[in-house]
Amino acid sequence: MSQKGRAPIIGITTYGPFGAMQGFGLPRTYVDAIARAGGVPILLPSTEAVQPEVFDLLDGLVLAGGGDLEPALYSTERHEAVYGVSPERDRFEFELARRALETPELAVLGICRGMQLLNVLLGGDLDQHLPDHEDGVQHRLAEGKPAHHDVRLDGGTVFEEIYGALEFKVSSRHHQGVRHLGEKLEAVASAPDALVEALVFTDHPFAIAVQWHPESQHDDGSSQHLLFEALVARARRSRPRPARRIPRARSTGR
């Protein structure tokens, strides 16, 4: 998709619709992380349907964090701690992610909820509330504040290529996690409590996901900016297409 010399366009899903005005939103750290890596970020609000033109536009896709998925999507009754469910967002992102996984030219990164969504889409399920059985590792502090803990990567994966290391500290703020893996997903990283922290979809050149929030650390001196640089670099290598031309406004002669 991406023409040589042109910054790749990276779509980012948004929170919402929410509130009295049914608005959409996203923490600016996602936008800053993509821009810093050399991509052009655009926000993708949940709409009634995923228009095919989206895939003519995008070179990469970030499935962002946010509220919980509807547990009925993985045939489970809702835990009392489930929050922020948006049927509109679930429906839109399921279709968006499904089509993205069928588009090998599109670089895909799931973050937090985005990783959980990919797992459920591919037939896996989730632990709805990790604090029910935490084993010495907190993945979110009180009032949704981020926690910091170590992550250990498996060797010989795309993540080792990206980070050049097998262990580092991450920022996370989630209360759910992968329980059973979906089809064609490989778990390639874990926290000290054995919770799955990263996934690779094996039927796609670059469809990966992390449970932590790398966008929260992209400018803090850690290695997390490397993940966004890898996403943008992969998007640059996508199939070429003609440059877009914006017509000039016609002069009125006045």
CATH number of the domain to which 205 belongs = 3.40.50.880
Residue 207's DSSP bridge partners are 108
Q: Give yes or no: 180 in active site.
A: no
Return the biggest CA–CA distance within the chain: 73
What local confidence, expressed as pLDDT, does residue 25 receive?
86
Claim: this prediction has a pTM higher than 0.85: yes
Within a domain: 182: yes
Look up the domain containing 50 and give its range: 9-236
> Quick check: 69 and 113 in contact, CB under 8 A?
yes
Distance (Å) of CA 32 to CA 13, 42, 155, 186, 219: 14, 11, 29, 29, 9
Cα distance between residue 46 and residue 226, in whole Å: 28
Asked if residue 99 has pLDDT above 60, the reply is: yes
Q: pLDDT tens, 51-81? A: 889 999 999 999 999 999 999 999 999 999 9
Q: Which one of the listed residues 112, 139, 149, 175 is annotated catalytic?
A: 112
Mean pLDDT for the stretch of residues 154-161: 96
Within a domain: 250: no
Within a domain: 207: yes
Within a domain: 1: no
What local confidence, expressed as pLDDT, does residue 205 receive?
96
Within a domain: 209: yes
What local confidence, expressed as pLDDT, does residue 254 receive?
43
Closest CA to 72 of 120, 6, 13: 120
Within a domain: 56: yes
Within a domain: 83: yes
The confidence band for 143, taking pLDDT boundaries of 50, 70 and 90, is confident
> Quick check: 185 and 122 in contact, CB under 8 A?
yes
Q: Which one of the listed residues 175, 197, 215, 225 is annotated catalytic?
A: 215
Asked if residue 118 has pLDDT above 70, the reply is: yes
Q: Give yes or no: 215 in active site.
A: yes
Q: What percent of the chain has pLDDT over 90?
A: 76
Mean pLDDT for the stretch of residues 5-19: 88
What local confidence, expressed as pLDDT, does residue 244 receive?
47
Q: CB burial class (10 A; 0-12, 13-18, 19+) of residue 18? A: middle
Q: Which one of the listed residues 139, 174, 175, 213 is annotated catalytic?
A: 213
Q: How many domains does the chain have?
A: 1
Within a domain: 54: yes
Q: pLDDT tens, 186-235? A: 999 999 999 999 999 999 999 999 999 999 888 777 899 999 999 999 99
Q: Give yes or no: 213 in active site.
A: yes
Distance (Å) of CA 97 to CA 53, 55, 117, 181: 15, 11, 8, 16
Q: pLDDT tens, 239-252? A: 555 444 444 555 44
